[in-house]
Amino acid sequence: MTPQRVTLITLGVADLERSKAFYGAMGWRPAREMPGEVVFYQINGMALGFFGLASLARDQGRPDAKLGTGATTLAQNFTTKTEVDAAYALALRSGATALKAPEKVFWGGYSGYYADPDGHVWEVAHNPFWELNADGSLTLPAHAD
């Protein structure tokens, strides 16, 4: 049995310095770095890293693969709609591409999407049914039976 665990999210990018500048403009600070090779950020419960697209394809054992984005999204949940709007606006000011401005959505929450400079898709959301832990992590509520 394989544990329900992720220890590292890696985003393949065209230009590490551009990625550092984009996430840095949103306030992110790297925890570890091999300049020109890889940059790691500490997030809740795991690391998030940036790695060159060609290096990532080689590492995956398929150096000629054209790696794609969009089918994986990373969501940041916030405790208020105001915070969602602020995070979305900050991302656009930092150079993100707008996909969908935050709006009320069918499941009862409030959500928007943007893409980072490499097309990696981020959701910013408020879900009134999911309360965040004090450290910003998320424990799914138990089934309502």
- Per CB under 8 A, the list member of 68, 108, 134, 145 interacting with a second copy is 68
Asked whether position 145 contacts a second copy by CB under 8 A, the answer is no
Asked whether position 39 contacts a second copy by CB under 8 A, the answer is no
Residues pairing with 100 in the sheet: 113
**74: nearest Cα among 13, 21, 125, 134:** 125
CA separation for the pair 51, 28 (Å, rounded): 16
User: Please, are residues 74 and 121 in contact by the beta-carbon 8 Å criterion?
Assistant: yes
Phi, psi of 113 (to 5 degrees): -135, 140
Residue 92 Cβ vs a second copy, minimum distance, rounded to whole Å: 12
- Per CB under 8 A, the list member of 15, 18, 47, 54 interacting with a second copy is 47
Q: How many CA atoms lie within 13 A of 67 on its CB side?
A: 22
Asked whether position 54 contacts a second copy by CB under 8 A, the answer is no
Largest CA distance in the chain: 51
Q: Which residue, 17 or 34, is less far from a second copy as judged by CB?
A: 34
Residue 80 Cβ vs a second copy, minimum distance, rounded to whole Å: 13
Asked whether position 29 contacts a second copy by CB under 8 A, the answer is yes
- Per CB under 8 A, the list member of 19, 20, 56, 110 interacting with a second copy is 56
Cα distances (angstroms) measured from residue 138 to each of 51, 76, 82: 26, 10, 19
Chain residues that interact with a second copy, rule: CB under 8 A: 1-12, 26-29, 31-32, 40-48, 53, 56-57, 59-62, 65-77, 87, 90-91, 99-100, 105, 111, 113, 118-121, 123, 125, 130, 132, 136-141, 143
